[in-house]
Structure 1
């Protein structure tokens, strides 16, 4: 049995906070913790609803074009400016020498990056695309779905040994296991390939900000920064203008730009976020209700509860993360990833274990190039779902479905 303070904890509501109401229908139904929705942050933005509201008149935003002087000519200047402002505030990425390209989420930017980097290659064969396992489950399918003659998925970067050109995806913090990553192929082969740094989770509510990233091509996404997955806004910071132009061309050919309505909303929300910190700095106070502090507290509470339950459960293992000093919060902290990477202690299929014993849907380690013992659990799901997951996990020895 698990400690009393976990078993007796009040259920979490859809905000991830305590609630006195129970959710009876969940008790005998499957819980979907497979998807990567970021609804945990809903409670913060509900409080900021009025400040973040935008009004778009019927006569506005008719043109495809936003700024003919920009490499990414369909990007609204106010979105570009607030993206730079946000990175300057957090200190997680250098934007001064880079060109910003926006896309319909970082997924479209990933495709644009592959196109831009591979079309710049001199190789007569498709360039190999690799990532160190466990890698994000979407990379293989997203790479091969277009059946491109320019590039192809070639698996785990840790075992890649071909004397051919390659593109390595470096995801840090990593999805699914939360680890901090660096390129691995160049260490082994003694030569550098082309790199895509996916920094979707390099924000202070997930991990300490230890340095200002300054890579050739970096991907970020609105969904993981603020939780607004439905807006489908992502951005790349690209040093090489030719690469930025090719990425822009891909997005134009693919979707003729990015919705200006989404851009307007994203710019407003990021502006409100930045303004709140600027105001707080002027007052010289430390406000725990600011977005990154508030969100980090919610994620931290979930991780603490999950670790306590896992400790008592005995069948599963969670990774451990080293602490580090965060330049943004000015204090030492651990990493609290958006996903939990669970491993079965026994040689057992993790997805089958969770589905059979707990009626929980999770994503198999097979899809991350890591084997079936591991599974990925969404830590940013709705409160009722997460609490029911903890409840079932803590009572697993007594549950029989």
Structure 2
């Protein structure tokens, strides 16, 4: 292949304006890099507007059902085929002999996963008496605690850092890889010496070649993906789970049916079309077609690489901040060694104990505090997928702080 709740759960993508204008921001305005929107990729899809246009007639999609032979009977066959084709192209997940369940974004699928795994526990402890503990290694995605506890379920409860888990009770561990917020590659971290029964959810939202090298084909029992982070179409609210156990897949489907009676077919149709456009472009290139538009993953990776290089250059001149470093790895998709360019920058502030407060006070930049990720408030998460003018203004304000420090 080619080279949050403020009191609501953070849904990875709280609505930013979708236009990526070049208008400069006045220094008095606030630059919001807290949200997880993916509008960086809008520039690519503007170029592909005609190829991705979907026309839906008034009489289409009247029924709840799409394919009653499938476990996930509200998923269209076209979307199922597109998901399998996309994973086959990238080589990042095994779909053979597995069941695909779709949801309204990976947030709904996360809830469905907790329901399915906790209600299927074989632990001798009754779930009605002792809920399953839900854990993730810190720094963990800030939405997990509130998304776990918001429904006040008797089946499961948030129990914090997987590295500190020491109960002889059933648990569900969330393994996010690459990790949100720090971009690290993760594996299960619970030390199971206590003997509690453990189940895993692998959140692979960012395991795509524009963020990280594809080093292997993931083949876990329950894997979560999202259209938002793959192509940037957060507003379509499409996520999917790849599930080994048919009974778990059925329970997840039941949860989504009870919660929202399925997933919009209009969104499914759009997602299937866009995935098809991505796959077709690579196949056409492979067979000698001269593409007038850069291939999607190459285009997206180039933009992210440029942003990371600019940010690292500014940080290198500063005594106030530190960024994590990532090892190079061989990518099976691009057939070359490459670096990781995460969707978020995990910024550590050396000068001030509270990085978020420092950014807000000194630069009027909003970021997400490390304490929301179960971590030290000296850390802050910065969205690297934001609008171009916001990111450029952020870099300018970082440079201005550095220049001001040098003069003092």
Q: TM-score range by the shorter chain?
A: over 0.9
Matched, 1:297 2:340: no
**Residue 33 of structure 2 aligns with which residue?**
33
- Separation (CA, whole Å) in 2 of partners of 1:50 and 1:127: 48
RMSD: 1.8
Q: Find the counterpart in structure 2 of residue 216 from structure 1.
A: 221
Show the counterpart of 1:53. 53
For structure 1, the 5+ residue unaligned runs are 1-13
Q: 1:128 aligns with which of 133, 136, 141?
A: 133
Contact 2:91 2:333 in 1 (8 A): yes
Query: Counterpart of 1:151?
Result: 156
- Rounded Cα–Cα distance in structure 2 between residues aligned with 1:87 and 1:287: 24
Q: Secondary structure at the match of 2:362?
A: helix
1:76 aligns with 2:81: no
CA contact (8 A) 2:170 2:197 kept: no
How far did 1:395 drift?
Answer: 1.0
120-129 or 45-54, which moves further after superposition?
Answer: 120-129
Q: Equivalents in 2 of 1:237, 1:93: separation in Å?
A: 9
Give the structure 1 partner of residue 328 of structure 2.
Answer: 323
State TM-score, norm by structure 2. Answer: 0.91
Matches within 5 A, 1:274-285: 274-283=279-288
Deviations 1:87-121 (A, max 9, x none): 00000000002100000000000000000000011
Assess if the C-alpha contact under 8 Å between 2:169 and 2:197 holds in 1.
no
Normalising by the residue count of structure 1, what TM-score does the alignment of the two structures yield? 0.92
The aligned length equals 383
- Provide the secondary structure at the position in 1 that maps to 2:317: helix
Aligned pairs for 1:366-385 (under 5 A) are 366-385=371-390
CA contact (8 A) 1:185 1:192 kept: no
Greater mean alpha carbon deviation, residues 239-248 or residues 27-36? 27-36
Match of 2:399 among 387, 394, 397: 394
Q: What stretches of structure 2 of length at least 5 have no aligned partner?
A: 1-17
Conservation of the 8 A alpha-carbon contact between 1:131 and 1:155: yes
Question: Which deviates the most, 376-385 or 178-187?
Answer: 178-187
What are the equivalent positions in structure 2 for 1:97-246 lying under 5 Å apart? 97-121=97-121, 122=123, 123-124=125-126, 125-186=130-191, 189=194, 193-246=198-251
Q: Is the 8 A contact 2:317 2:402 kept in 1?
A: no
- 1:138 and 1:161 map into 2 onto residues whose CA distance is 23
Q: Per-residue CA shift, 1:133-187, capped at 9, x if unaligned?
A: 0000000000000000000000000011111110000000000000000001146
**Structure-1 separation of matches of 2:372 and 2:343:** 18
1:190 to partner: Cα distance: 6.9
Provide the secondary structure at the position in 1 that maps to 2:305: helix
The aligned runs of 1:352-367 (5 Å cut-off) are 352-367=357-372
Tell me if the contact between 1:363 and 1:376 (Cα under 8 Å) persists in the aligned partners.
yes
> In the aligned structure 2, how far is the partner of 1:317 from the partner of 1:187?
33
Q: SS state of the match for residue 29, structure 1?
A: coil
Asked whether the equivalents of residues 168 and 195 of structure 2 are also in contact (C-alpha less than 8 Å), the reply is no
